[in-house]
Chains A and B, each alone.
Chain A
Amino acid sequence: MPPVIELDRLVVRLGGRTILDGLTGTLSGRAIGLLGPNGAGKSTLINALLGFHPAASGAVRVFGADVREAKALRRLIGYMPENDAFISHMTGVRFVRYMAELAGLPSEAALERAHEAFFYVGLGEARYRKLGTYSLGMKQLAKLAQAIAHGPRLLLLDEPTNGLDPPARQRMIRLIREIRDAGQMHILISSHLLRDVEETCEEVVILKQGRIAAHCDLESERRSNRKFVELETVGAATSFTDAVQGLGAECAFYPNGHGIARVKVVLPDEVEMRALFRLAAEHDVQIRRMNYRRDSLEDIFLAAMKEEGGVRGRP
């Protein structure tokens, strides 16, 4: 079975600027997160997958088919754009039916699927209202409904929780998880919100300035038994972190002012926790709080943002 997405030295230039710069990689996860700061190229990559932005060089393939054969490929894709995308004078169910028909469903099947999609996203009661009267959260859900109504194999979600309040965000995340767990389609989620991606994805690509800064399997990262410890300290100085690094540990020091600092430590397997207490006592450092943490997506992201060049994680 071909991978979901293959990037082969993909370069996309827009308005004379290089937006995606030689992306290479293979994405196969059931739910793939696309992370990066604003302007990193996340939406451009999604547009390239849809064939909206042609590759200046290189290629991008979806399910083994080059996106230059976009028409046949788009049958397999559902797309939920970042920005508003609706026809305000249409009722919700009519809009989704219309979009399903354009994807190739016969009229009656499209109507049935439109109703089902609306109930599925939780907008069943509002399906006969005009889209222009929907709240922002409802419009996001309607966008999701039109993206799944025709039964795609790959769902592209561009900032799906944009502008949602916490309950609406939770609902959207729950829906994405349900779709993922149903196992009928792959999902690519572009977001700048680490939490959204962490809660829904198992594979992550982090973009930075149009390049892949990190590509990792979150599940593997979660499974890896790295001892990640976060300390809140008083009186810690570089001498303490140097001593911690002397144990063979990776260590990052974040002073907060007034002598308080956050120290993140990744301990090697053979080092016991009490070694940290011993070093703290030797350097007259108070440990106010200690959290065991796995290597979180935030850490992967921050590391990727710091690294110049090279790709962290998978090649």
Chain B
Amino acid sequence: MAVHKRAYRPYEGPLTSERWRFLVLPRYGLLELFESRLLTVFTVLCFVPFLIEASAIYIAYSPAARALLDISSAGDFVRKPDFFFATLTLQGGLAFLLTAWVAPVLVSPDLVNGALPLYLSRPFTRAEYVLGKATVLLTLLSAITWLPGLVLFALEAGLADGWGAQNIRIAAAVFAGSAVWILVLTLLGLALSAWIRWRIVATGALAGVFFMGAAFGEMWREVLHEPWGRLANLYYLVGLVWRSLFGMFARRSMAQEMFNDGPGRDLPTWAAWAGLAAAAGLSMWLLDRRLRGREVVS
């Protein structure tokens, strides 16, 4: 490799496929993220609940393991949708923490020092830029939400004859519920990263969107005795969507216990979908406003 030669020569070699070129962004993004040991440790910790749950399933179906641990009866908790709902709720919370950590460093470093025009002066569109940056989060969040969820489902389906076929809706709910949550978190995280320069402020803003929104929604509900203020509570909205996906409205479920809901205090499911869609739409609008080759000041 003649790097010592100080002479310019044109490039005449092959080019990569334009269709998949956006994957350059997540490749570099993930490599940089995992240069942080703290993030690596946190990501590994995100799999701890999954390992515990996988162990619980195994123990429930293994008389030998139960005998070894001196457990007389495993119960049938792991067979119910509530088990997978609880898994999704826990992993969804971890996904939020991971987003708060990772999202602020995805877009803002490109904007702080004006690197965005360099991306867009290449055969690379704004949509591909957003897709590339989003893929970093989509990959990480998928790895800790629906992927372990489906592995648990597959494990249980493998251990209990016929259970998988009878409960296929659970697998669909795990995937679809995770996908909705990941999409909302990703778009919101990227939008905040695009508009807020400082990492700590962006992390705080993301937390604020969720916690302040939740506080506002619950205060509204308590004071006005009607549920529409809860549209500001994104975690509640996604919980409602998950409940509908898991088919948990027919009875008072664990989800209702967790969210402390009484009859008539819930929003309709369509409102939850609409609220999440509005949050995603608003995030996309914010990204569109911010990610331009050149800022035009009117």
Contacts and interface: CB of A to CB of B under 8 A. Distances in A.
B73 interface: no
A102 B294 contact: no
Nearest to A116: B3
A113 interface: yes
Contacts of B4: 119
B294 A53 contact: yes
A79 B121 contact: yes
Contacts, number: 126
Interface string A82-96: 011111110000000
B13 A106 contact: yes
Chain B interface size, under 10 / 10 to 19 / 20 to 34 / 35 or more: 35 or more
B2 A116 contact: yes
A112 B115 contact: no
B147 to A, nearest CB: 26
Contacts of B124: 71, 74, 102
B72 interface: no
Interface in B13-31: 13-16, 18, 21, 24, 28
B1 A112 contact: yes
B122 A103 contact: yes
Given A74-B121, A86-B115, A101 B3 contact: no
Contacts of B6: 119-120, 122
Interface in B114-144: 114-115, 117-125
Nearest to B105: A89
Contacts of A52: 117, 120-121, 292-294
Contacts of B293: 47, 50-52
Contacts of A16: 298
B295 to A, nearest CB: 10
A261 B110 CA distance: 53
A151 interface: yes
A104 interface: yes
B38 interface: no
A119 B3 contact: yes
A150 B11 contact: yes
B115 A102 contact: no
Contact of B13 (A81, A85, A105): A105
Contacts of B122: 74-75, 99, 102-104, 150
Nearest to B132: A102
A178 B8 CA distance: 8
Contact of A85 (B24, B114, B123): B114
Interface string A32-64: 000000000000000100111100000000000
Interface residues of A, number: 48
A79 B293 CA distance: 12
B109 A77 contact: no
A244 B293 CA distance: 53
Contact of A115 (B1, B110, B113, B294): B1
A288 B112 CA distance: 55
B48 interface: no
6 contacts: A87-B113, A101-B16, A103-B122, A105-B13, A115-B1, A146-B118
B10 A50 contact: no
Given A15-B296, A52-B294, A103-B122, A112 B3 contact: yes
Interface of B: 1-16, 18, 21, 24, 28, 32, 109-110, 112-115, 117-125, 292-294, 296-298
Contacts of A14: 296, 298
Given A14-B296, A106-B13, A182 B7 contact: yes
Given A85-B117, A87-B110, A99-B118, A151 B10 contact: yes
A213 interface: no
Contacts of B123: 71-72, 74-75, 103-104
Contact of A88 (B15, B109, B294): B109
A53 B9 CA distance: 31
Contact of A102 (B8, B109, B113, B119): B119
A51 B8 CA distance: 27
B109 A89 contact: yes
A185 interface: yes
Contact of B113 (A50, A77, A85, A179): A85
Interface in A238-267: none
Contacts of A185: 10
A16 to B, nearest CB: 6
Contacts of A79: 117-118, 121
A42 B90 CA distance: 55
Nearest 8 CB-CB pairings of A with B: A151-B11, A15-B298, A52-B293, A104-B15, A79-B121, A115-B3, A151-B10, A85-B114
Contacts of B8: 120, 148, 178-179, 182, 184
Contacts of A77: 121
Contacts of A124: 3
B121 A50 contact: yes
Nearest to A72: B123
A86 B18 CA distance: 23
Given A86-B115, A98-B24, 7 more contacts: A14-B298, A47-B293, A52-B120, A85-B113, A87-B109, A88-B109, A178-B8
